[in-house]
Structure 1
Amino acid sequence: MKTSWRSASLVASAVAVLALTTACGQENGGQSASQNVGATAAAGGYGGTGLGSGTGTGADAGAAPDQQNAGAKAAPAGKLAVSANAELGQVLTDSAGRTLYRFDQDTAEPPKTNCEGDCATAWPPVPADDVKAGEGVDEELLGEVTRPDGTKQLTIAGWPAYRYAKDVNPGDTKGQGVGGTWYALAPDGKKAKLADLPGLSTREDPKLGEIVVDKNGHTVYRFMKDEAWPEPVSACTGECLEKWPVVAPVAANDTKGVEKEGLMSFTRPDGVKQQTVDCWPIYTFAGDKAPGDTNGQGVGGTWFAVSPDGKPVGAPAKEE
C-alpha cells in the first residue's frame, strides 16, 4: 500500500507540474491569452514615487545642459514647423527641428514666465526675435512676453516657449513630462498628448531594438530574480515596488505586437494582480520620467527591458 500511495502521489505531482508547464513553461508554450487574462484593471502600473515634482528653479526642473550643446540655447527659433511624433502626435518645433515646450507653472492669460535662474539654464527660453509661422502654424497664436531680465520670449497662444537642454538631436522629446510640469507644445499652444496606446504594445528603441511599453508609453522591465516556471513569482517586494511599480493586468485584445502565448496575470502575495509577458512578471521604473526613457535598463545587473516574446533585452545569456 505504501508503494501504491507513493506512485499515486508522483502521478498527481506530475499532472500538476504538467498543467503549470502548459500555462507558463518556456519550451512548451503558454495558455492562450484569451484563456488566461481575464483582466479587470487597466494597464500601466506607473505609480510614481514623487520623483521629479519640479519647481521653477529647483533641480527637478532639469539637468545642466551638455557642454557641446550650450552654444545653441539662445539661437533664434526661425520658421516654426509642425512635426509628427509617433508618441505625441503633432509637436511644435523650431527651424532646426528642436521641440518646443511649455511649463505648467507659467500662465498664458496674461503671459508670464516663472522659469528663471537654474531653470532657465535647463530650459532655455525661446527668443521672440525673427520668429515666423511655417506651414500648419497659426501666426495669430504667436506672441511674446518680457522676461524679468528684459529679454523677449516667444509665446504660443500665450504660453511662454522653451527648449530643453537635453534635447540634442532634432525630434528629441526628452523633456516631455519631466517633473510632471513640462510638456511639448502642440501647434495650438496646448500640451502635446500621448497618442492612444494599447495596454501593452511595442516601440523601436534606437539602442535596444523592439521593446514592450505600457499604455503610457513607458518602458516595461523584467527582474532577473523573478520566476516564471512552474508559475509566476515576483521577488520584488516592499521598498522595491516603490522604484519598480507592477504593471496591472491587461486584456488580451488590448495589446499590439506582444506575443500572446504566456500573456497572463497572477495574484501577488499582497493581493495585487500583476501582468506577465511569457509568464514573466513585468514592471515599470519610477526613474523613467517620460515616454521613451530607458533609465531602468541594466540597473543592478538584474533589471532589463522586455522584448515582445518576454525575453530580457541585453541580459547576459547565463541569466536567461
Structure 2
Amino acid sequence: MEKRRHIAFAGVSVAMVLLTAACGSSKDNSAGSANVQPAGGSQTVGAGASASAGAGAAAGTGGGYEAGGDTGAGAGGEAERTGPAKQLAVKEDAKLGKFVTDSKGWTLYRFDEDTPKPAKSNCNDDCATKWPAVPADDAAATTGIESGKLGSVTRADGTKQLTLAGWPVYRFAGDNKPGDTKGQGVGGTWNALAPDGKPAGKTAAADDSLQLMVNNNAELGKIIVDGKGMTVYRFNKDSAWPMKTGCLGACLDTWKPVKAVDTTKVAGLDAAKVTSFKRPDGTKQAAFDCWLLYTFTGDKKPGDINGQGVKGTWFAVTDKGKKAGQ
C-alpha cells in the first residue's frame, strides 16, 4: 500500500511539472471532482441523464448561467444528496437570511428563468446535470413553510419535480456538503429558496461564489464566464509558451485582467488547467490552458459577447481553452 501511494504521488508530481513548464507559471491549488447524478428515487429526474447531457456546464434554455466542476461527494456520500427532499427544513444564515434545505441539510434552489404560474422548468439537458431536479414524491412541509405552497410540475422528460410556491426546486452539484450555498447568485439567475418561494438573500458571500464557470452561448457554444456571468476573452498578442501579456497601457482601459482564482471555485472546467500569471505591475492574472483571461468593458450584462472578434485579435474562450467561433 505504501509503495502504491509513492507511485501515485510521483504521477501527480510529473503532471504538475509538465503544466508548469508549458505555461512558465506556477499553478494554484486545485481540487478533484466527482460525478453527481440528478436527484431522484427509483427514476432519474431531469434530462441530465440523457446521453446528450454530457458532463459539462451549461445554461438554462433562457440564458441563465450555471456550473458544475468540483462536485465532490460531500459529507455522507452521494446517496445523501439525491432522491426526494422528504421533510423540508428552514435554516438561517447571516448573509442569506432564512432558506430551505432538504431533510439531509442540502440547500434547495430556484431558477429565475423558470415560471411559477404556470409552473415550468427551463433547466434541461446539461443544465439538469448540474442543477438536479428534486423529485416531487415524499416531500413534506415544516414549521415556517406552508404545506399548501408545496406542489409538483411535470418536466420535459415526464418526471415530476417538486415546486415551492410554484417554483421548481433544485439542488446544486457544486455544493460539496450539507449547508453549502455555492449555487447562490450563480449567473445572476440561481438563488437559494426562501420559505415563501422567493429568492433568499441578495448575494452570497464572496468567498462562497464560483469564480470561473461555463455558459452555453447560443452563438458560440460553451464559453468561459467569470463568477458574475461575464464573458472572458483571450488575446492573440499574448503568449502562452512562455506566458506573456501583450495587453499593457491603454489596452487595460478596455480589457480588464481577470484576477487569479481559487481553483476549488471553478466549475465546468478542468481545474488543472487553471493557472495564474504575475503581471508587470505585480498583480496576479488568471489563465486557462496558459492563455491569460480578460473581461471586456463593452460587455454590459451577463451573456454579452461584444468583445468577440474585436480587431481580429480578441476571442471568447471555449471550455477547452480554444478561441470560440473558430
TM-score (norm 1): 0.46
Task: Pick the structure with greater CA Rg.
Answer: 1
